[in-house]
Amino acid sequence: MLDQFEKQLEYCTYCPRLCQSACPVLATEGNEAHAPWGIMQTLNMVRRGEIPFDEEIAALSYQCLTCKACTEQCHHGNEIPPVLHEVRKLAVKHDLAPPEITGFLEKFHRHNNPFSKDLLQKLKKIVPAKYFQKDTPVIYFASCTTIAQCPEVIRDTFELFEKLKIDFVGIYPESIQCCGYPLITGGLEDEFVELAEINFNTFKQYKTIITGSPACVYTLRETYKEYALGLGSRVVSINEFLEPYLHNINYQIKKSIRTKIIYHDPCYSCRYLHEVDRPRELIGQVTGIQPVEFNHHGEKTACSGQGGCYSIMNKDVSDQICKVRLEEVYEKNIQTIITQCPSCIHKFRKNSNHLIIKDLVSYLNDCIEGTKD
Ligand code: SF4
Ligand code: SF4
């Protein structure tokens, strides 16, 4: 068991803890058993057959945000999340997964999304009917978390398209609301493959699939490929899509855009998709200003606490991790956070009273008045 990860497990087992300042779970809990080396040492003992693979070990694999902050500080570039994803799959297969995970699956099954709601009906209230069309080469994939938790981002995206005279993007008019990311990160592989096949067969007809959620971009572009369901370069982030339009179109800027903002890099944007400069360039391009930076930004960003499926199991610690990130915003006396992940937006909103938390596209839409003809 886990022999394919021998190198990663051995590195962490004998490591002088080079990533010890990186892990938000360790920093918040102070529990070395949940540090990168703590989890990996235990799993290495399972690999060597020194301890059994049981419910306790299965639960341990969920004590990680899969944020990859440790990888950034590791001289070997060791990646913990792929090891834990494999352990989670084994946990589910052997009926050892924590009850929170099996409960999550029951909830998911009701409407093929983690919110147990018919999100298509909600989406239809957010976006004008004219955008719901199949016969277009370019489709916008509204992530389920965005529809459920920050629907204004979708409305703002289509408003921005109108301002930039982009009139060829449609929304798939039938029920597809989750890319499957929460399933695969939770180890629910069979269910993930079932959903991915449905999505693949729908999306393969399109030339371009745009999405505003970095975890969805990564899942549709990279994770699907691992299951021979690759959509490849047809999947683009909203930033990639908007970049040439914002560069080439002559638009008017509103006068009241001088608000001081701070930019939070979501883990999936910067450490999985390596999109670090582009959001800053888009802000600079449109407004002429640069956002204030967190002490840990770009590839060295800190997780909002909502990464992976960590909060399903560890709600309080997850909120605590978020509050640590927000402390810096208060210290810097900034009122507005711009970011680009629906889970981060929701988490920050839940854990702050008076801050304004906005998606990058909503912010750009606020700043742009319309095109100059
Ligand atoms: S991730 Fe790298 S730095 Fe961290 S414990 Fe493992 S080997 Fe060491
Ligand atoms: S991926 Fe993130 S939460 Fe998991 S061990 Fe590494 S730093 Fe800690």
Domain of residue 348, CATH code: 3.40.50
CA of 45 to the centre of ligand 2 (A): 19
| R_g (Cα) of the chain, nearest Å | 21
d(CA 282, CA 242): 9
Cα 371 to Cα 140, 158, 196, 246: the distances in Å are 22, 15, 38, 10
Q: Is the separation of the CB atoms in 305 and 250 below 8 Å?
A: no
Domain match, 76 and 149 both: no
Q: Ligand 2: does its nearest atom lie under 6 Å from the Cβ of 343? A: no
Of 44, 72, 97, which residue constitutes the final position of a domain?
Answer: 97
Domain match, 230 and 263 both: no
Domain match, 257 and 237 both: no
Q: Is the separation of the CB atoms in 156 and 242 below 8 Å?
A: no
Of the candidates 86, 157, 163, the residue with the CA atom closest to the CA atom of residue 123: 157
What ligand is nearest to the CA atom of residue 81?
2
* pTM of the model as a whole: 0.95
Domain match, 135 and 71 both: no
Q: Buried (b) or exposed (e) across 62-76, using 16+ Cβ within 10 A?
A: bbbbbbbbbbbbbee
Q: Ligand 2: does its nearest atom lie under 6 Å from the Cβ of 67? A: yes
CA of 159 to the centre of ligand 1 (A): 45
Q: What's the confidence (pLDDT) of residue 373?
A: 64
DSSP output for 138-191: EEEE--HHHHHH-THHHHHHHHHHHHTT---EEE--SS----SHHHHHTT-HHH
In a domain, 102, yes or no: no
Residue the block writes with tokens 């997964």: 97
d(CA 141, CA 164): 19
What ligand is nearest to the CA atom of residue 12?
1
Domain match, 20 and 66 both: yes
Q: What's the confidence (pLDDT) of residue 55?
A: 97
Total of domains in the chain: 3
Of the candidates 212, 117, 135, 216, the residue with the CA atom closest to the CA atom of residue 172: 135
What ligand is nearest to the CA atom of residue 19?
1
Looking at residue 205, the DSSP 8-state letter turns out to be T
Of 223, 243, 263, which residue constitutes the final position of a domain?
Answer: 243
Domain match, 224 and 143 both: yes
Nearest ligand 1 atom to alpha carbon 16: 8
Range of the domain at 140: 108-243
Domain match, 224 and 254 both: no
Domain match, 126 and 230 both: yes
Q: Ligand 2: does its nearest atom lie under 6 Å from the Cβ of 302? A: no
Domain match, 124 and 238 both: yes
Q: Which amino acid is at 13?
A: T
Nearest ligand 2 atom to alpha carbon 267: 2
pLDDT tens per residue across all 373 residues of the chain = 899 999 999 999 999 999 999 999 999 999 999 999 999 999 999 999 999 999 999 999 999 999 999 999 999 999 999 999 999 999 999 999 999 998 888 888 888 888 888 899 999 999 999 999 888 999 999 999 999 999 999 999 999 999 999 999 999 888 777 999 999 999 999 999 999 999 999 999 999 999 999 999 999 999 999 999 999 889 999 999 999 999 988 888 887 677 899 999 999 999 999 999 999 999 999 998 899 999 999 999 999 999 988 999 899 999 999 999 999 999 999 999 999 999 999 999 999 989 999 999 999 999 998 776 6
Looking at residue 222, the DSSP 8-state letter turns out to be I
In a domain, 187, yes or no: yes
Nearest ligand 2 atom to alpha carbon 35: 5
Of the candidates 210, 341, 328, the residue with the CA atom closest to the CA atom of residue 271: 341
Kindly state the tokens that stand for 284: 């600079």
CA of 63 to the centre of ligand 2 (A): 9
Edge-to-edge order in the sheet of strand 336-339 = 292-293, 261-263, 336-339, 356-359
In a domain, 327, yes or no: yes
Q: Ligand 2: does its nearest atom lie under 6 Å from the Cβ of 36? A: yes
